[in-house]
A and B are shown apart, each in its own frame.
Chain A
Amino acid sequence: MDIELSPEQRMLDDTLRTLFADHAGHARARERHGDIDRDIVERLDAGGFLDVFADAGPIEAVLVAERASELVAAAPIVARVLVGPLAGITDLPPLVGLVRSPDGLVRYAGWCDAYLVLGDEDASIASADDVEVEPVRSRAAYPMGRVRVRRGESLGTGSAAALRRAWQVGIAVETGAMARATIEFAAGHVTDRVQFGRPIGSFQAVQHRLARSYAMAQATAWLGRRGAWHRDDEYCTAAAAAFACMTARETYDNCHQAVGAIGVTTEYGMTEWTMRLLALQTELGGRRAHARRVAAARVAHVERTTS
């Protein structure tokens, strides 16, 4: 066991931090509301970062996903860099959407080159030409829509379970990184904001809200990393997603409460994260569905070991 990043991984992480700091961020995301940031995707593609899973491994792909998420890059990077490869799907175009068939809301619907479609029995891939997209107005900070698949190519036996597990990991990685960024953003505000003659962040009631969320965000991030590593184990991957949903809610509630009225404004920017968290915690059925999958995986284990 070794939880330290290797020197090569640290170097990659530093490079990514610089790249996303220069070409992403909540202000840039706000400008592109309802749109997609092709520039950052092209830069990732040119730098070879979209295929880092195949070239380096799951942790490297997680690093790209984490950095993209914390700086709210306005593109479906996690699906392309992490979810598809974790599910064993290769040769993907740069922009990939994730569809829960038949009628789940899809992030970046209408903007993607291809869609990975999770059905009850199997998974498939459909090109943009093979789907119909109905845009849906939503407060979530992603362009949203429903995607009806006319033709898709089956990804084979076991592909549904593999895609579901990979998607669970994606939810956790994205949520963990975004939650931490939200909390750190809120922490900056409560440090500067003075009421009753002192920074509101010096009040324990405020500190504990943010600290509780921070602990959960850290755990989510590490569950995401573990899920990527143990991607064939649904106990790990579903637990990562279930905890991510709890973290998303906790972070949403506590950061908005700590920051107060300024937090709900577009200008302030915190909603670029919180409205994304809102969307993530509903995917694949949300906390309750993930939790039931965790239980199913473990109960099966208990039955095997006690019978």
Chain B
Amino acid sequence: MELDWTADEAAFRAALRASIDANIRPGWTLDDRDMPDADDVLAVKAFCAAIGADGFLTPHWPVAHGGRDASPWEQLIISEETWRVGEPRGGQYMNTNWIGPALMAYGTAEQQAQHLPPITRGAVNWCQGFSEPDAGSDLAALRTRAVRDGNTYVVNGQKIWTSYAHAAEWCFLLVRTDPESPKREGITILLVPMDSPGIEVREIPNPFATHLIHEIHFTDVVVPIANRLGDENQGWGIVRNVLANERVGIARHAHSERVLDATVADAHDTGIDVDDPGLSESLGVAYTWCEAARAMNYVAVGERISDPHGARPLAAVSRAITGPMEREVGWACQEVLGDRALAGGTEADRQIVTGTTAMIAAGAYEVQLDLIARLCLDLPRGK
């Protein structure tokens, strides 16, 4: 066990930080990650292209696909450094973390040749077509239908809560191809161009952020069979692997800690005494949650290294710490700054969004608790 970064890892972080500082759009914030404006979409691609050229977008990928087989620790360092500054990769973190690896593991040579180079160049945005109105935490209940018609599928249905859909060129789409099978056995993955006729993206209005979440409606969308990832009706196994990768190594703690730092600086500027025992305690508890999330994030990465094909119980533990961390940080900002925390444009204000959504998105907090109950405590299943 070695709980320090190695010299090589520290050097990697320093070089990465220099590349990020040189290439991030000035004034970038976590709000921009959702790419609310067309300029933001361009900024994400420009940033990813630039750090990709410096070797910092997909270093953990195999050499054969443009990486250099860097360790998951370097992948985590990338996440820490990008989250620290508001994740200027936008939704492209998905490309590098799990869409690319899914294509490498299950894609055809043609699919890999088509999709992997644009990802390594930062030239493409993807979205994930997973949740549906009646399939959220119970994802396997999805009903978006794909029916074979010669060499194509015809897709009808609706996805919901989709991030980055308005800016995506491609959708990693889960569809039901066999409605008669048990629900986990009739699911297939399709790689769908978002400019396909019959696709309509609608932003879901909310008081939190522009282009935070969307619906995607599919009406008789024709998708070539060549765009299927893996075998028909075998999508669930791929998705489980995909979700395991999605759950590991997203370094939200790095951003939350920075939000608290900004809140401290804001408090100083406005004459709020953060040494007041009550405020100090609130801040200390929130920083403590950040440290706990950091520790478990590292443990989850270690678990991924030591047991890459296992059930990853500690990844669920990590997420069960990270979600509450976001909320604790949000409340601490409001306790320290009072009504100033509600003024738009501050880090504290943005944390209201993150604190609200972090325990809901990408597998609700309660789903993580279910996983812990089953995988860590071996508790009996409910009826």
Alpha-carbon distance between A204 and B6 when the two chains are bound, in angstroms: 42
Are A207 and B370 neighbours in the complex by a CB distance under 8 Å? yes
Task: Tell me the residues in window 229-275 of chain A with beta carbons closer than 8 Å to chain B beta carbons.
Answer: 229-230, 235-236, 238-240, 242-243, 246
Alpha-carbon distance between A118 and B110 when the two chains are bound, in angstroms: 68
Q: Is the interface of A mostly helix, strand, loop or mixed?
A: helix
Whether B212 sits at the interface, judged by CB under 8 Å, is no
**Can you give 11 contacting A-B residue pairs, CB < 8 Å?**
A1-B298, A201-B379, A218-B299, A222-B296, A223-B295, A225-B1, A226-B295, A291-B288, A292-B280, A296-B275, A302-B261
| Contact residue among A211, A243, A295, A306 (Cβ-Cβ distance under 8 Å from B369) | A211
Task: Tell me the residues in window 1-47 of chain A with beta carbons closer than 8 Å to chain B beta carbons.
Answer: 1-6, 9
Are B284 and A242 neighbours in the complex by a CB distance under 8 Å? yes
Whether A294 sits at the interface, judged by CB under 8 Å, is yes
Give me the 10 closest cross-chain CB pairs, A-B, nearest first: A291-B284, A3-B302, A295-B284, A207-B373, A211-B372, A294-B284, A239-B291, A215-B320, A229-B3, A211-B369
Are B379 and A191 neighbours in the complex by a CB distance under 8 Å? yes
Whether B4 sits at the interface, judged by CB under 8 Å, is yes
Alpha-carbon distance between A203 and B369 when the two chains are bound, in angstroms: 12
Q: A1-B73, A243-B292 are in contact. Are A183 and B284 (CB under 8 A)?
A: no
Whether A139 sits at the interface, judged by CB under 8 Å, is no
B261 nearest in chain A by CB position: A302
Q: Which residues of B contact A230 (CB under 8 A)?
A: 3
Q: Which residues of B contact A206 (CB under 8 A)?
A: 379
Are B373 and A211 neighbours in the complex by a CB distance under 8 Å? yes
A305 nearest in chain B by CB position: B261
Distance in angstroms from A214 CB to nearest chain B CB is 6
**Count of chain A residues with a beta carbon within 8 Å of a chain B beta carbon:** 59
Q: Which residues of B contact A246 (CB under 8 A)?
A: 285, 288
Q: A191-B378, A239-B288 are in contact. Are A299 and B4 (CB under 8 A)?
A: no
Alpha-carbon distance between A204 and B371 when the two chains are bound, in angstroms: 11
Whether B321 sits at the interface, judged by CB under 8 Å, is yes
Are B280 and A204 neighbours in the complex by a CB distance under 8 Å? no
Are A215 and B1 neighbours in the complex by a CB distance under 8 Å? no
B291 nearest in chain A by CB position: A239
Are B369 and A212 neighbours in the complex by a CB distance under 8 Å? yes
Task: Tell me the residues in window 213-255 of chain B with beta carbons closer than 8 Å to chain A beta carbons.
Answer: none
Q: A198-B383, A295-B280, A299-B264 are in contact. Are A2 and B369 (CB under 8 A)?
A: no
Q: Is the interface of B mostly helix, strand, loop or mixed?
A: helix
Whether B109 sits at the interface, judged by CB under 8 Å, is no
Which B residues contact A (CB, under 8 angstroms)?
Answer: 1-6, 9, 73, 260-261, 264-265, 268, 274-275, 277, 280-285, 287-289, 291-293, 295-296, 298-299, 301-302, 305-306, 314, 317, 320-321, 366, 368-370, 372-373, 376-383
Q: Which residues of A contact B378 (CB under 8 A)?
A: 187, 191
Are B261 and A298 neighbours in the complex by a CB distance under 8 Å? yes
Q: B-facing mask of A96-136, CB < 8 A → 1, else 0?
A: 00000000000000000000000000000000000000000
Alpha-carbon distance between A59 and B305 when the two chains are bound, in angstroms: 20
Are B306 and A202 neighbours in the complex by a CB distance under 8 Å? no
Given contacts A59-B3, A198-B382, 5 further A-B contacts (CB under 8 A): A4-B306, A199-B380, A202-B379, A218-B314, A294-B284
Alpha-carbon distance between A201 and B376 when the two chains are bound, in angstroms: 13
Q: Which residues of B contact A215 (CB under 8 A)?
A: 296, 317, 320-321, 368-369, 372
Whether A190 sits at the interface, judged by CB under 8 Å, is yes
Whether A216 sits at the interface, judged by CB under 8 Å, is yes
Alpha-carbon distance between A201 and B374 when the two chains are bound, in angstroms: 10
| Contact residue among B5, B288, B291 (Cβ-Cβ distance under 8 Å from A1) | B5
Q: Which residues of B contact A222 (CB under 8 A)?
A: 295-296, 298-299
Are B6 and A295 neighbours in the complex by a CB distance under 8 Å? no
Q: Which residues of A contact B317 (CB under 8 A)?
A: 214-215, 218-219
Q: A1-B298, A4-B306 are in contact. Are A59 and B377 (CB under 8 A)?
A: no
Distance in angstroms from A239 CB to nearest chain B CB is 4
Alpha-carbon distance between A2 and B298 when the two chains are bound, in angstroms: 9
| Contact residue among B274, B295, B382 (Cβ-Cβ distance under 8 Å from A202) | B382
Q: Which residues of A contact B282 (CB under 8 A)?
A: 291
Task: Tell me the residues in window 281-295 of chain A with beta carbons closer than 8 Å to chain B beta carbons.
Answer: 287-288, 290-295
Are B292 and A219 neighbours in the complex by a CB distance under 8 Å? yes
Distance in angstroms from B324 CB to nearest chain A CB is 9
Q: Which residues of B contact A184 (CB under 8 A)?
A: 377
Q: A4-B1, A202-B382 are in contact. Are A291 and B285 (CB under 8 A)?
A: yes
Alpha-carbon distance between A304 and B283 when the two chains are bound, in angstroms: 18
Q: A1-B6, A191-B380 are in contact. Are A208 and B366 (CB under 8 A)?
A: yes
Distance in angstroms from B39 CB to nearest chain A CB is 29
Alpha-carbon distance between A238 and B298 when the two chains are bound, in angstroms: 19
Q: Which residues of B contact A5 (CB under 8 A)?
A: 1
| Contact residue among B277, B301, B321, B376 (Cβ-Cβ distance under 8 Å from A219) | B321
Distance in angstroms from A53 CB to nearest chain B CB is 14
Distance in angstroms from A109 CB to nearest chain B CB is 29
Q: A191-B380, A214-B372 are in contact. Are A292 and B1 (CB under 8 A)?
A: no
